[in-house]
Amino acid sequence: MTKTIYWLKGLDCPNCAQKIALKVNDLEIVDYADVDFIQKKLIVKHKQSNIKSIEESVKAIVKKYEPEVEVLDYSKKHEHKHHHESEHCHCHGHEHGHEHGHNEAENHTFDIVRFILAGILFAVSKALPYELPCKILALCAYLIAGYDVVISALRNILHGEAFDETLLMFIATVGAVALGYYDEAAAVMLFFQVGELLQDIAVERSRKSISKLMELKPEFARIIKDGREEKVSPESVDIGDVIIVKAGERLPLDGVVISGESQIDTSAITGEFLPVNAHEGSTVSSGCTNLEGVIKVKVTCKFKDSAVARIMDMVENASEKKADTEKFITRFARVYTPVVVACAVLLAFVPCLFLGFSQFTKWLYRGLLFLVISCPCALVISIPLGFFAGIGGASKKGILVKGARSIEALAKCSIVAMDKTGTLTKGSFCIEKIVPDGITRDQLLEYAAFAESGSNHPIAISIIKEYAKDIPSGTVDDVKEISGHGISCNYKNKKIICGKSELLEENGIKVLPCESENTTVHVAYDGKYCGYITLGDEIKQTSKEAVSQLSKQGVETVMLTGDRKITAASVAQKLGIKEYHAGLLPENKVEKIEELIRTHGGAPVAFAGDGINDAPVIARADIGIAMGGLGSDIAIEAADLVLMNDDVLSIPKAISISRKTMRIVKENIVFALGVKFAVMLLGALGIAGMWMAVFADVGVALIAILNSMRCSKT
Ligand code: ADP
Ligand code: MG
């Protein structure tokens, strides 16, 4: 199955978006389709062979519902920008923003002008003493303000599609005209249109400001070719190429500094405004900004594998993992409108059956009010926008959230399980003691380093570093890493085993007891015990604070580790963690997580880890959290949340952002539905008029949108 993403350029009606998604979903050749109104994209999953016919069908459907909307390839959305930028190379980024903004301002100018004109006509019509010119002027004002609504409504009628917002407004206002309320029809249409315009502007603004938070894509790379500097797109740079990054520029690719010295601002990636010193030999990540000098960087991976590309991929796909609240709103919207419309019809006719038809116009007017309120727009826009803003706000803090679903789960999370090594501790061990048994110290270290040369476990890395000599490839073969246990290999046709005491004992080797609280690695060669190495790992500075903040939030921390009980106990005690489980193999960690999920009665369980061996646990937990900087790609892949700054303190932060987002989302639901029902009730009793109904529609939507924006302020 393949996934194609279309960019619906110019999409501005959430209801139409929903309808388009439903229709595309109904296509025989489509397996699944969904729409993301905020990012204006249509996601279609289908069989590769159907791609051509799907594109045609999608275009046909979109043309039917939203003729102004263009269907483009989603990847074009970025290229579009770059195209602009390459024309104005020096002032990348801004130019496009300006032009875009300018265009939009122009579009709005046209609307604003016609709304003012309509307003003037309306005012004049109110002032005129004669009835007929009055009515004509009001009708003109109505058409100038709402001709697009009328056209769209007529189109809907032609297509036999009921219950579109424009159609409802059309019926309500035409009804008002039929009842003789000419000026009311004009005023309501004007009010509605102005509300819609403000709503559009608000959504557009927030879309932009949130996207900016997440927009890390570097515009160009300065590559050195034949001694000359050349500006190329980051995609075209190969591994091993050398690029130059000047002060104030963003690093386009991941690499190692080969000359120059500078301060690097990593805040775009990690959310921390702490400049990091970069000099010859430092690894630097794309997306960071070079603050001072000029540095030359040797590129270590292709753009598509770089930190920035990975992050952008995640953010782009975030909207696919919809929260239950969003799904509920979509389903609710589908029944809400027909129900309210049915109520409108009942309200217009039923009372007359009892009270006589002499007062039919009064009840019809009240029924029309219901039509105005029957659009669930406030919810359909503001709820996804709230989640989008929450995700954007989190990314500003260096927390990548892969979907609204995770925000929802995090808000309810009451237990976080954490891995020890690399998560609560720094994972960069220093050799504490080398205790040989029957051989020399250096020889013990050599055996260990030989075995570990095939691994990138933090333990392995520090042992190899301590050994500090080159290990020619081919020195050892048949390397077997036993996850959570250790590693074995063949050296001169004899076996080296290196790892936990249990691993050696399983192989029939007696180990020396070791009392140290630190992580211990035992080594055997050719079936004989050689001694052990103890390694100290520092606890991250912020771990303790994170545990205490979590407990203040009512969230319990549990430590899961593959290390020995004595080491685990000492770390847990230092951090104030009450529950810990030691000696766990990766599969035991999965079992523990399942047990926690079972015993916590439905509340989501989070797990934070770093290594490759943690990937299955990260995938199994309700909320998988991976360390982004140190963490392995597989762990990041499996995670719902990635902490770019490797800081566990981000976990309580993410929880508070999620809780705030959920609170705002709920506020919006209660507020929007509350006002709508209240106005319906008042309308049915004859207390509220059209004006109030329009407020309950567009006014409420506007307020809800503005409220949603608060989610990004953390
Ligand atoms: P954690 O759960 O704390 O992240 P791991 O599951 O990665 O720890 O490893 C658990 C234990 O297994 C380590 O403490 C170490 O004793 C042993 N171990 C794992 N991999 C290796 C290795 N490559 N070399 C030596 N020992 C290892
Ligand atoms: Mg680990």
Average of per-residue pLDDT values in the chain: 86
Our answer on whether the CB atom of 421 is closer than 6 Å to any ligand 1 atom is yes
The residue whose CA has the least distance to atom 24 of ligand 1 is 486
Q: Which ligand is nearest to the CA of 567?
A: 1
Q: pLDDT band for position 80 (50/70/90)?
A: low
Q: Which ligand is nearest to the CA of 483?
A: 1
Q: Are 444 and 530 in contact (CB under 8 A)?
A: yes
Tell me, in angstroms, the distance from the centre of ligand 1 to residue 586's CA. 10
Cβ within 8 Å of residue 94, ≥6 positions away: none
Residue 626 zone, left/alpha/beta (φ > 0; ψ -120 to 50; rest): beta
Residues 688, 691: Cα–Cα separation, whole Å: 8
Q: Which ligand is nearest to the CA of 532?
A: 1
The residue whose CA has the least distance to atom 8 of ligand 1 is 562
Query: By C-alpha distance, which of 22, 18, 23 is closest to 36?
Result: 18
Residues 241, 301: Cα–Cα separation, whole Å: 10
Residue range 683-707: average pLDDT? 91
Cβ within 8 Å of residue 465, ≥6 positions away: none
Our answer on whether the CB atom of 610 is closer than 6 Å to any ligand 1 atom is no
The residue whose CA has the least distance to atom 4 of ligand 1 is 421
- What pLDDT is stored for residue 645 in this prediction? 83
SS3 state at 92? coil
Q: Starting from the edge strand earliest in sequence, which strands make up the sheet with 41-46, in order?
A: 30-36, 41-46, 2-9, 70-73
Our answer on whether the CB atom of 499 is closer than 6 Å to any ligand 1 atom is yes
Task: Kindly report, residue by residue over 20-70, the tens digit of the pLDDT.
Answer: 888 898 888 888 888 888 888 898 988 888 888 888 899 988 888 888 888
Task: Kindly report, residue by residue over 533-592, the tens digit of the pLDDT.
Answer: 999 888 999 999 999 999 999 999 999 998 999 999 999 999 999 999 999 988 899 999
Q: Are 418 and 584 in contact (CB under 8 A)?
A: no
The full 3-state SS of 349-399, as one line of letters, equals HHHHHHHCHHHHHHHHHHHHHHHHHCCCHHHHHHHHHHHHHHHHHHHHCCE
Residues 489, 211: Cα–Cα separation, whole Å: 50
Our answer on whether the CB atom of 562 is closer than 6 Å to any ligand 1 atom is yes
Return the minimum-mean-pLDDT range out of 211-215, 491-495, 682-686, 695-699: 211-215
Tokens representing residue 494 in the block: 């004899």
Looking at the DSSP assignment, which residues form a beta bridge with residue 289? 250, 265
Phi, psi of 206 (to 5 degrees): -70, -40
Residues 383, 582: Cα–Cα separation, whole Å: 42
Q: How far apart are the first and last CA of the chain?
A: 39
Tell me, in angstroms, the distance from the centre of ligand 2 to residue 563's CA. 9
Residue range 641-646: average pLDDT? 87
Q: For ligand 2, an ion, list residues with CB under 5 A.
A: 419, 421-422, 611
Cβ within 8 Å of residue 665, ≥6 positions away: 325, 383, 386, 387, 708, 711
Record the pTM. 0.83
Phi, psi of 382 (to 5 degrees): -70, -30
The residue whose CA has the least distance to atom 16 of ligand 1 is 500
Our answer on whether the CB atom of 487 is closer than 6 Å to any ligand 1 atom is yes
Query: By C-alpha distance, which of 187, 188, 5, 207 is closest to 104?
Result: 207
- What pLDDT is stored for residue 631 in this prediction? 55
Q: Which ligand is nearest to the CA of 463?
A: 1
Residues 535, 461: Cα–Cα separation, whole Å: 12
* Ligand 1: nearest atom to the Cα of 423: 4
Identify which has the larger pLDDT, 124 or 307.
124
- What pLDDT is stored for residue 664 in this prediction? 97
Contacts 24+ apart (CB under 8 A), 261-265: 261/293, 261/295, 262/290, 262/291, 262/292, 262/293, 262/294, 262/295, 263/290, 263/291, 263/292, 264/288, 264/289, 264/290, 264/291, 265/289, 265/290, 265/291
Identify which has the larger pLDDT, 268 or 662.
662
Our answer on whether the CB atom of 484 is closer than 6 Å to any ligand 1 atom is yes
Tell me, in angstroms, the distance from the centre of ligand 2 to residue 669's CA. 41
SS3 state at 289? strand
Q: pLDDT band for position 88 (50/70/90)?
A: very low
Q: What percent of the chain has pLDDT over 70?
A: 94
pLDDT at 90 over 70: no
Q: What percent of the chain has pLDDT over 90?
A: 39
Our answer on whether the CB atom of 712 is closer than 6 Å to any ligand 1 atom is no
pLDDT at 626 over 60: yes
Residues 426, 539: Cα–Cα separation, whole Å: 6
Task: Kindly report, residue by residue over 285-311, the tens digit of the pLDDT.
Answer: 888 889 888 999 999 989 888 878 877
Tell me, in angstroms, the distance from the centre of ligand 1 to residue 627's CA. 17
Tell me, in angstroms, the distance from the centre of ligand 1 to residue 186's CA. 74
Give, for ligand 1, the residue of 450, 457, 581 to mutate: max count of ligand atoms closer than 8 Å to Cβ: 457
Residues 577, 568: Cα–Cα separation, whole Å: 10
The residue whose CA has the least distance to atom 21 of ligand 1 is 486
The residue whose CA has the least distance to atom 10 of ligand 1 is 562
- What pLDDT is stored for residue 488 in this prediction? 93
Q: pLDDT band for position 87 (50/70/90)?
A: very low
Task: Kindly report, residue by residue over 164-192, the tens digit of the pLDDT.
Answer: 778 888 989 999 999 888 888 998 899 99
pLDDT at 414 over 80: yes
Our answer on whether the CB atom of 200 is closer than 6 Å to any ligand 1 atom is no
Q: Which amino acid is it at 24?
A: V
Tell me, in angstroms, the distance from the centre of ligand 2 to residue 169's CA. 59
Q: pLDDT band for position 85 (50/70/90)?
A: very low
Residue range 131-156: average pLDDT? 90
- What pLDDT is stored for residue 422 in this prediction? 85
Residues 425, 537: Cα–Cα separation, whole Å: 6
